[in-house]
Amino acid sequence: MRNIFVPVITALVIILVLPAGAMAAKKRVKSSVPARSAGVSYSKANLNRPARSVILTLLNLGQVQSVAYELAYSAGGISQGAIGSVAGGGTQDARTLYFGTCSHNVCTPHANITGATLTVRTTLKSGRIHTKLYRIRI
């Protein structure tokens, strides 16, 4: 009995005396994700179905150096779109982006529009770039 008792006591002493591995949380690693704007919006888009267009309203232009936008969609299987840019300054501005073509004051709407997206890329005076993607359901 004494032969079993000595190894058991020795094992318990070793377990209690020797330090166990540390039970700590993982080291926190800071990511390089850019900071988000604190609730500031630089654009909004509204679909105008009767006019077959998107009204892009640009906001807070006093904080903006420039804005570039791109409307892309497919009409009857053919890629279509419109691009443009606006310089910063002022308070707000608006652009009407038509789903069709215009020539000599005659506009022809496109049919069977699918996959419409509007991408607005805002370059702030601080140098940061704010990109917003709108998916448009027609």
Band of pLDDT at residue 18, cut at 50, 70 and 90: low
Q: What's the CATH code of the domain at 120?
A: 2.60.40.2150
Which is more confident, 51 or 18? 51
In a domain, 71, yes or no: yes
In a domain, 94, yes or no: yes
Is-contact 93 59, C-beta < 8 A?
A: no
Residue 24, both tokens: 């700590």
Q: Kindly report, residue by residue over 35-84, the tens digit of the pLDDT.
A: 555 578 999 999 999 999 999 999 999 999 999 999 999 999 999 999 99
Q: Kindly report, residue by residue over 77-88, the tens digit of the pLDDT.
A: 999 999 999 999
Provide the whole-model pTM.
0.71
The dihedral through the CA atoms of 96, 99, 101, 104 has a sign that is negative
> What's the whole-number mean pLDDT along residues 1-21?
68
Long-range CB contacts for residues 7-10, cutoff 8 Å, separation at least 24: none
Residue 108 structural domain: 43-136
What is the predicted pLDDT for the residue at 1?
58
> What's the whole-number mean pLDDT along residues 116-130?
95
What is d(CA 10, CA 6) in angstroms, rounded to the nearest whole number? 6
Count up the domains in the chain and report the number.
Answer: 1
Is-contact 42 64, C-beta < 8 A?
A: yes
In a domain, 24, yes or no: no
In a domain, 131, yes or no: yes
In a domain, 30, yes or no: no
Which percentage of the chain shows pLDDT scores above 90?
A: 67
Q: Which residues of 24-63 are buried (b: 16+ CB within 10 A; e: fewer)?
A: eeeeeeeeeeeeeeeeeebbebebeeeebbbebebbbbeb
In a domain, 15, yes or no: no
In a domain, 22, yes or no: no
What is d(CA 116, CA 53) in angstroms, rounded to the nearest whole number? 11
Hunting for tokens 């070793």 — which residue is that?
14
In a domain, 29, yes or no: no
